[in-house]
A and B are shown apart, each in its own frame.
Chain A
Amino acid sequence: MSHHIVEVKNLQHVYPDGTIAIKDVSFRITHGESVAIIGANGAGKSTLLQHLNGCLEATSGEIRIGDTPLSKSTLPDIRRTVGMVFQYPDDQLFMPTVFEDVAFGPLNLGLSGTEVDRRVAESLERVGAGHLRDKPPYHLSGGEKKRVAIATVLAMSPDILVMDEPTSGLDPFARRQFISLLREFQHTKIFTSHDLDMVMDLCGRTIILHEGAIMADGPTGEIFLNEALLAACRLEKPFSMQGCPVCSRALTKKKP
Chain B
Amino acid sequence: MISINAAVTDLKRLDLLADSDSPIHALDARAKVLVTLVFIVSVVSFDRYELARLLPFFVFPTVMIALAGLPPLYLVRKIAFISPFVLMVGLFNPVFDRAGLYQIGQMVISGGWVSLVSLFVRSTLTVGAAFILVGTTGFTAVCQALQRLGTPQLFAVQLLFLHRYIFVLADETCRSSRARELRSCGKKGLGVASFGSLAGHLLLRTWQRAERIHTAMLARGFVGLFHAHRQSRFGAAELCFLLGWSSLFIALRTFDITASLGALFTGLFS
B-binding residues in A (CB < 8 A): 50, 53, 55, 76, 79-80, 83-84, 86, 88, 90-92, 94-97, 100, 103-105, 107-109, 113, 116, 134, 136, 138-139, 152-153, 156
Whole-angstrom distance between the Cβ of B185 and the nearest chain A Cβ: 30
- Report A212 CB to chain B, min CB distance, Å: 20
A79 touches B219 (CB 8 A): yes
Provide a sorted-by-A list of 26 A–B residue pairs whose CB atoms are within 8 angstroms.
A53-B219, A55-B215, A79-B220, A83-B219, A84-B219, A88-B212, A90-B168, A94-B161, A94-B165, A94-B216, A96-B139, A96-B160, A96-B163, A96-B164, A100-B229, A103-B229, A104-B217, A104-B220, A105-B220, A107-B227, A108-B222, A108-B223, A108-B227, A116-B229, A134-B19, A156-B220
Taking CB atoms, residues of chain B closer than 8 Å to A50 are 215
B221→A76 contact, CB < 8 A = yes
Q: In the complex the two chains form, is B164's CB within 8 Å of A95's CB? A: yes
Complex A-B, nearest 6 residue pairs according to Cβ-Cβ distance, in ascending order: A108-B221, A107-B227, A105-B220, A96-B140, A91-B212, A84-B219
Which of chain B's residues 226-240 have a Cβ closer than 8 Å to chain A? 227, 229, 231
B15 touches A109 (CB 8 A): no
How many residues of B are in contact with the other chain, CB < 8 A? 29
Given contacts A79-B219, A107-B229, 7 further A-B contacts (CB under 8 A): A55-B218, A79-B218, A86-B216, A90-B168, A94-B165, A116-B229, A134-B19
> Contact: B220 with A97, CB < 8 Å?
no
Tell whether, in the assembled complex, residue B229 and residue A113 are in contact, meaning their CB atoms are under 8 Å apart: yes
Bound CA span A116–B164, Å:
22
- Chain A residues with CB under 8 A of B216: 84, 86, 91-92, 94
Q: Does B167 belong to the interface (CB within 8 Å)?
A: yes
Q: Does B178 contact A (CB under 8 A)?
A: no
A55 cross-chain contacts in B, Cβ below 8 A: 215, 218-219
A109 to B160, Cβ gap below 8 A? no
Chain A min CB distance to B2 (Å): 19
Look across to chain A and name the residue whose beta carbon is closest to the beta carbon of B165: A94
Decide: B222 and A138 in contact? CB cutoff 8 A: no
* CB-CB nearest in chain B for A99: B229
* A94 and B213 form a contact (CB under 8 A): yes
Residue of A nearest to B218 (CB): A55
Taking a contact as CB atoms under 8 Å apart, the answer to whether B209 and A91 are in contact is: yes
Q: Which of B15, B161, B220, B227 contacts A136 (CB 8 A)?
A: B15
Q: Which residues of A contact B222 (CB under 8 A)?
A: 104, 108
Enumerate chain A residues within 8 angstroms of B229, measured Cβ to Cβ: 100, 103, 107, 113, 116
State the CA gap A60–B168 with chains docked (Å).
Answer: 36
Chain B residues near A92 (CB, 8 Å)?
216
- Which residues on B sit within 8 Å (CB–CB) of A79? 218-221
Roughly how many angstroms separate A152 CA and B219 CA in the complex, as a whole number? 11
A156 touches B221 (CB 8 A): yes
